């Protein structure tokens, strides 16, 4: 898990973690995965859910997911990451918050409007996740899970758009399945990034101890 110079992936020779900081990234991934799984379970186990409750639950999920993506984007921006590494997360986060506002502030939302809004969000987040996976490819091999999550979102969004008048029951089922699958994949990514963080921290600590002994 280290590069040719013996430093942990994502770290410089001096042990300074780059903008894709595994220690700060894996909790965000894990949180997004847990939220998605919770939403998926509720949606699938509550087939008779009303449109209003579905809209509110989806809005809450979109809001929390959007905040997580924004936090990731701002952290990378402050670390002076390249724009194409953080802009997708920023746009997807803003989109999630916008969707949450629409679903909460429009109590008389129709199935058609919720379907279109949900599809746009899934496609936007899917594109962002694939972009994040491209950045993670420099650090871990498990970025394929994030790519699969992004592809699942894009496919689900397109399918929902193709049948916008399928009804609240079908929409609930599709969102539930997508959320469950996406959540599991995000947890898999979080586990890989967490492992990377542990390896990186141990390598840096060992390097510091080695340098300390050399100075004695």
The reply to whether 100 falls in a domain is yes
The reply to whether 12 falls in a domain is no
Domains held by the chain: number: 1
Q: What value does the mean pLDDT take over residues 172-196?
A: 89
Q: Is the pLDDT of residue 81 over 80?
A: no
Cα distance between the two ends of the chain? 29
Q: Is the pLDDT of residue 162 over 70?
A: yes
Q: What value does the mean pLDDT take over residues 132-152?
A: 78
Per-residue DSSP letters for 31-66? HHHHHHHHHHHHHHH-TT--HHHHHHHHHHHHHHHH
Judge contact between 32 and 65, C-beta under 8 A.
yes
The reply to whether 48 falls in a domain is yes
Rounded Cα gap, residues 139 and 193, in angstroms: 9
Rounded Cα gap, residues 204 and 109, in angstroms: 53
What are the residues facing 11 on neighbouring strands?
17
The reply to whether 31 falls in a domain is yes
Report pTM: 0.73
The reply to whether 216 falls in a domain is no
The reply to whether 71 falls in a domain is yes
Q: What value does the mean pLDDT take over residues 19-45?
A: 83
Higher per-residue pLDDT: 10 or 173: 173
Rounded Cα gap, residues 150 and 145, in angstroms: 9
Conformational region of residue 82, where left means phi above 0, alpha means psi within -120 to 50, and beta covers everything else: beta
The reply to whether 3 falls in a domain is no
Range of the domain at 73: 24-200
CA distances from 67 to 37, 74, 119, 158 (A): 17, 10, 19, 24
The reply to whether 58 falls in a domain is yes
Q: Is the pLDDT of residue 204 over 60?
A: no
């Amino acid at each position: 898990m280290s590069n040719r110079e013996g430093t942990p992936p994502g770290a410089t020779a001096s042990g300074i973690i780059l903008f894709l900081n595994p220690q700060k990234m894996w909790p965000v991934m894990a949180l997004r995965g847990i939220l998605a799984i919770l939403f998926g379970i509720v949606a699938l186990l509550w087939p008779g859910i009303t449109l209003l409750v579905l809209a509110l639950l989806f809005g809450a999920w979109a809001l929390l997911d959007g905040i997580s993506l924004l936090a990731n984007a701002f952290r990378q921006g402050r670390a002076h990451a390249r724009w194409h590494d953080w802009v997708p997360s920023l746009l997807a986060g803003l989109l999630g918050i916008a969707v949450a506002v629409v679903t909460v502030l429009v109590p008389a939302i129709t199935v058609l409007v919720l379907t279109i809004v949900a599809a746009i969000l899934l496609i936007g987040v899917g594109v962002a996740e694939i972009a994040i996976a491209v950045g993670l490819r420099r650090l871990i091999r498990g970025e394929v899970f994030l790519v699969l999550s992004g592809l699942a979102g894009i496919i689900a969004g397109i399918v929902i758009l193709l049948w916008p008048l399928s009804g609240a029951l079908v929409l609930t089922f599709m969102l539930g399945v997508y959320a469950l699958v996406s959540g599991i994949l995000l947890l898999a990514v979080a586990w890989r990034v967490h492992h990377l963080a542990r390896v990186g921290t141990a390598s840096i600590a060992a390097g510091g101890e080695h340098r300390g002994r050399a100075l004695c």
